Amino acid sequence: MRIVITGGAGFIGSRFVELLLEAEHLGYSEVVILDALTYSGRRENMEAALRDARCTFVHGSITDYDIVDETLRGADAVVHFAAESHVDRSISGARVFFETNVLGTQTLLEAAQRHHLGRFVHVSTDEVYGSIAEGSWREDHILEPNSPYSSSKAGSDLAALAYHRTYGLHVNVTRCSNNYGPRQYPEKLIPLFVSNLMDGRKVPLYGDGLNVRDWLHVDDHCQGIMRVLEGGRAGEIYNIGGGTELTNKEITYRLLALMGADESSIEPVRDRLGHDRRYSVDCDKIARELGYAPQVPFEQGLADVVQWYRENEAWWRPLKAQQ
């Protein structure tokens, strides 16, 4: 069987490809990575996967009709990671987020429907739900996105579900909480703070630092997606969370401790526009139906990723120089 992974040169997508190649029981004998290699997609992220003869790479954008059509021809499944994903970038320039996340997703869906693909897994985010003061979102909660990024992802979610309801395409949508792990682009909180501290620089903490996020190791996220790929019910949405809710201030202090720094390294900065206060996903559905549970203890996972950035300066330092 043949599977196409969009965004497979990115942080989460590249790790998913590596784990998928290990999951021989799923039966995919050909894995095709489709990636435009924008700033956060890197050839280096695919090096291990492309050493496997089952894996090939197609350089192209999900907004390119011809490339998408040719890549999906003969495929059995798609797992769709490709997206513009950084909230701050969406605030300063929203157009590309809607072009890639909405129109790009629709281009993929159209090709998937035309070529009668068996499964289409659309990877989304908990940010489409908005902000929740208490409790946790279930999959049937209304969508209340508050940033250009999250609204573009909400639009792509609805497009995916529409292709199931209108055309019968076997679509699943997954909505994950905040990912962390090796090879995460250093604009995101954990790699940004770790790399700043390694260089003796301060870490920028938004507002009062009390915004709450649920942290999910990239390996746990990928395992959840694989369970959905294998057994998700057509047309269903599945939340994937890590079960570790922390304020931004709390995770900052944990990173300071791991890096041997103190609170003098914190630089308070003006809060992000439209900054959601708290995210929290209810993962009962994926646990009950597909047996998902996060496996990476947060303390160990965080320590491991800090060590990875310590040992892999050659990977992230050129990226920091471009910022």
Residue pair 292/224 in contact by the 8 Å Cβ criterion:
yes
CB within 8 A of 252, min separation 6: which ones?
A: 193, 203, 205, 209, 266
Indicate the SS3 state at residue 176: strand
Residue pair 126/71 in contact by the 8 Å Cβ criterion:
no
**pLDDT higher than 90, residue 94:** no
Tell me, rounded to whole angstroms, the distance of Cα 249 from its chain centroid: 22
Beta pairing partners, 267: 204
Would you place residue 319 in the very low, low, confident or very high pLDDT band (cuts 50, 70, 90)? confident
Task: Determine the Cα angle at 110 with ends 38 and 141, to 5°.
Answer: 80
- For the chain, what is the mean pLDDT? 95
**Gap between the Cα atoms of 204 and 109, Å rounded:** 39
% of the chain exceeding 90 in pLDDT: 89
Q: Which of 18, 35, 84, 127 is catalytic?
A: 127
Give the helix ranges, DSSP H, for the chain: 11-22, 47-50, 65-72, 87-92, 95-98, 105-114, 148-167, 189-198, 218-231, 248-258, 284-290, 298-311, 313-322
**pLDDT higher than 90, residue 85:** no
**pLDDT higher than 80, residue 210:** yes
Q: Can you tell me the mean pLDDT for 182-190? A: 94
Q: Which of 28, 129, 149, 185 is catalytic?
A: 149
Closest CA relative to residue 147, chosen from 213, 90, 197, 200? 90
% of the chain exceeding 70 in pLDDT: 99
Report the CATH fold assignment for 185-213+244-273+298-322.
UDP-galactose 4-epimerase; domain 1 (3.90.25)
> Tell me, what DSSP letter sits at residue 260?
T
Report the CATH fold assignment for 2-179+216-240.
Rossmann fold (3.40.50)
Closest CA relative to residue 31, chosen from 4, 66, 7, 6? 4
Instruction: Please give the pLDDT value at position 295.
Output: 97
47 classed as catalytic: no
Instruction: Please give the pLDDT value at position 96.
Output: 86
Q: Which of 126, 139, 157, 214 is catalytic?
A: 126
**pLDDT higher than 70, residue 323:** no
Burial (Cβ within 10 Å: 0-12, 13-18, ≥19) of residue 228: buried
Residue with tokens 């507002």: 207
CB within 8 A of 141, min separation 6: which ones?
A: 129
Q: How many CB atoms lie within 10 A of CB 295?
A: 10
Instruction: Please give the pLDDT value at position 40.
Output: 85
Beta pairing partners, 206: 269
Instruction: Please give the pLDDT value at position 247.
Output: 97
Instruction: Please give the pLDDT value at position 141.
Output: 97
44 classed as catalytic: no
CB within 8 A of 127, min separation 6: which ones?
A: 87, 145, 146, 147, 149, 150, 153, 276, 279
**Gap between the Cα atoms of 221 and 81, Å rounded:** 12
pLDDT tens for each residue of 281-297? 999 999 999 999 999 99
**pLDDT higher than 80, residue 88:** no
For the chain, the structural domain boundaries read 2-179+216-240, 185-213+244-273+298-322
Residue pair 90/149 in contact by the 8 Å Cβ criterion:
yes
127 classed as catalytic: yes
Task: Determine the Cα angle at 7 with ends 119 and 297, to 5°.
Answer: 90
Q: Can you tell me the mean pLDDT for 141-165? A: 96
H or E element in which residue 35 lies: strand 30-35
